[in-house]
Amino acid sequence: MRIFGLNRRIIRVLLGTQYAHMLEYRAEIALWALSGVLPFIMLSVWSGSDARLGLGLDGVALDRYFLSAFLVRQFSVVWVVYDFEEDALQGRLSPYLLQPLHPLWRYVAAHLGEQLTRLPFAALIAAVFFAVQPQAFWQPSVGGFLLAWLATWMAFAIAFLFQSLLAALCFWSEKASALERLQFIPFLFLSGLLAPLTAFPPAVRAWAQWTPFPYLIDFPARVLAGQPVDLMAGFGAQLAWIAVLLPLLLLLWRAGVRRYSAMGA
Amino acid sequence: MGRYWRTLRRFWGTAVAVQLEYQANVLIELLAVAMSLSGSLFLLSLFYGPQQTLGDWSWAQALMVQGLYTVFDGMATTWLRPNLGAIVTHVREGTLDFVLLKPIDSQFWLSLRTLSPAGLPEIGLGLGLLAWGSHQAGVVLTLFSFFTVLVMLLAGGLILYSLWFLIAATSIWFVKTWNATEVLRALLASGRYPLNAYPPALRLLFTLVLPVAFLTTVPAQVLLGQAAAPMLLAGCGLAALFFSAARAFWLFALRSYTSASS
């Protein structure tokens, strides 16, 4: 069975080559993993602040929340817009478009390969964290872990679809990465990376729930940290965002490719 | 000296002229600055719970720290990222050879070649926030305090530049160090909050190893009259130390530089 040109053999080859490619840049990926330390900095500010009491998270729970936020972020980082922009500008995109494989799958495989390369570095940082804060150690149940894994994967899917949507705008303008930078700002403040959503005033929290951002970090991190969370509502919202973004992306992509070939002709 | 000054004016004149061609970018940049500043203030407000303090700093005093952080962030956008980010490209594409052949100091050329006006509104907003926070915190502005803050800003800028340049210069060996500066940026984000908000171990790290404290917290303390002359001197000394380290490291790096073609 083929979905946009994908079958099992192609999946194996794509993932294999992209993983090998990413292994070449291990040092670079280690640095990227390290550049995700922001949740730990925020954790140290939150733990020393009186406002912590209003969070409904005390000491250990707060540690676990921010570690989970760090891990979720590590495995849902998306950079497709930058690669796509470069490929489009340098003309590498044209041969990709001729192949029977949808070009976006190539980027998906690159991201998955990178996540696999990142795994040991993320595990190392988590191990250091537990060495410094041994009382925060916890082991999620198998069911809980699988749910968190699924939620993180869905978060990655939403982020990937959303950024691909911006990347597809490359067909019309060169400002796609500027738009990406603009959307990164609300992501930073509303996703739960810097502050758990429970810290927000109720009105802001209610409003944030209607944006995709809390489902990118806050929801998966809560599931991973084993905090009480409305699973049905969370997964429902994630599915809804995927259901909105996927057809939109396919439409925009098709229109863009038509325009792109017209540009070359 | 006069030659360097004339060159600098040419460099920046052309850089600004080029940037002004892209007016949409200015709008996007302004929007980004406004959004991220309001986000930062919102986040800061979350820390001010019932007790109204963060590590013994009042809201107005913390605003001064945020203002200083914004100034330095703008400085990075205007000056450091466009210049020092290009060093990697020069090494990879072999154009560093041309820079080295020019009858002008290579570190001067690489550090000041261009200027991105996009960060200027951020610097302006940061200074505004600093002024407003100081006013609210009851700081009486004298000519002397104005002067000391200016010195601290220069020292902080020099420290920031030296750190950034040290990392950028390692690209002579590693070619790809763009991500190392990303790590630096992530760590510098800790300067958004007063040093007292951190646990003691991190305070030590941010004062001695990665002197973020001297960028934001110490200048704010100087303005508030909480830090005395020794801190001021320490800041200036540290700036001199870091700058000479960056300079020495660059000369050392050049010795092991073989051009891309050889």
What's the token pair of residue B82?
Answer: 């466009």
Answer whether A43's CB lies under 8 Å from A66's CB.
yes
Look-up: residue for tokens 């198998």? Answer: A142
**Partner-chain contact B49 A189, CB within 8 Å:** no
Chain A: give the shortest CA distance to residue B226, in Å: 21
pLDDT on residue B103: 85
* Average per-residue pLDDT for chain B: 86
List the 23-62 stretch of A: residues with Cβ below 8 A of B.
Answer: 25, 27-28, 31-32, 34-38, 41, 44-54
Q: Is the pLDDT of residue B262 over 70?
A: no
Question: pLDDT per residue over B135-155, tens digit each?
Answer: 998 888 888 888 888 899 999
| pLDDT score of B261 more than 60 | no
Structure-model confidence comparison of residues A1 and B188, the more confident one: B188
- How far is the C-alpha of B215 from the C-alpha of B80, rounded, in Å? 15
Higher local confidence (pLDDT), A208 or B3: A208
Nearest-angstrom CA–CA distance, A150 and A154:
6
For residue range A162-178, what is the model confidence (pLDDT) as tens digits?
Answer: 999 999 888 887 777 78
Q: Does A189 lie at the interface with B, CB-CB under 8 angstroms? A: yes
Q: Is A124 on the interface with B (CB under 8 A)?
A: no
- Residue B13 corresponds to which tokens in the numbers above? 């004149």
* pLDDT tens figures, B222-244: 888 887 778 888 889 999 999 99
Longest alpha-carbon distance in chain A: 64
- Gap between the Cα atoms of A31 and A33, Å rounded: 5
Cross-chain residue pair A178–B28, CB shorter than 8 Å: yes
At residue A68, the pLDDT reads 96
Q: Does A128 touch chain B (CB under 8 A)?
A: no
For chain B, the residues whose C-beta falls within 8 A of a C-beta of chain A are 24-25, 28, 31-32, 35-36, 39, 42-43, 46-51, 53-55, 174, 176, 179-180, 182-183, 185-187, 189-190, 193, 197-199, 202
The whole-number average pLDDT for the span A202-210 is 93
Q: Return the beta strands (E) in chain B as ranges.
A: none
Mean pLDDT: which of A176-185, A192-201, A207-216 is highest?
A207-216
More confident residue, A129 or B117: A129
Q: How much is the pLDDT for B47?
A: 87
Asked if A1 reaches chain B (Cβ–Cβ under 8 Å), the answer is no
Most confident of A41-50, B123-132, B144-153: B123-132
> Is residue A71 predicted with pLDDT exceeding 90?
yes
Average per-residue pLDDT for chain A: 88
Q: Which pLDDT tens digit goes with each residue over B3-14?
A: 888 988 888 888
Contact A194 B179 (CB under 8 A): no
pLDDT of residue B49: 67
A215-230 average pLDDT score:
94
- B51-82 tens-digit pLDDT: 677 878 899 999 999 999 999 999 998 899 88
Whether the pLDDT of residue A265 is over 50: the answer is no
Q: Which of B31, B180, B193 sits opposite A45 (nearest CB)?
A: B193
Q: Which of A170-184, A235-249, B60-74, B112-126 has the lowest mean pLDDT?
A: A170-184
Cβ distance A19 to A116 under 8 Å?
A: yes
Tally C-beta pairs within 8 A across A and B: 87
Q: What share of chain B is helix, strand, coil (3-state, %, to 5)?
A: 80, 0, 20
Residue A32 to residue B179, Cβ atoms within 8 A: yes
Highest-confidence range of A228-242, B25-39, B197-211, by mean pLDDT?
A228-242
pLDDT tens, residue by residue, A22-34: 888 887 888 888 8
Q: Is the pLDDT of residue A1 over 70?
A: no
The tokens describing A197, both together, are 């959503």
Q: Quickly state the pLDDT bin for A261 (edges 50, 70, 90).
A: low
Phi and psi at residue A6, to the nearest 5°: -105, 130
Give the global pTM: 0.90
Reply yes or no on whether the pLDDT at A214 is more than 80.
yes
The tokens describing A111, both together, are 């991201």
Alpha-carbon distance of A162 to A165, in angstroms, equals 5
Bin A230: left if φ > 0, else alpha if -120 < ψ < 50, else beta. beta
Pairwise CA distance, residues B131 & B139, whole Å? 9
Distances (CA, A) of B164 to A11, A195, B54, B169, B172: 41, 28, 29, 9, 14
- pLDDT at residue A92 tops 90: no
pLDDT value, residue B113: 87
In this predicted structure, what is the pLDDT of residue A219? 96
Q: Which pLDDT band holds residue B50 (cuts at 50, 70, 90)?
A: low
Rounded to a whole number, what is the distance in Å from the CA of A236 to chain B's nearest CA?
28
Q: Looking at residue A263, what is its pLDDT?
A: 52
- A189/B42 touch (CB, cutoff 8 Å), yes or no: yes
Lowest-confidence range among A113-127, A186-200, B219-233? B219-233
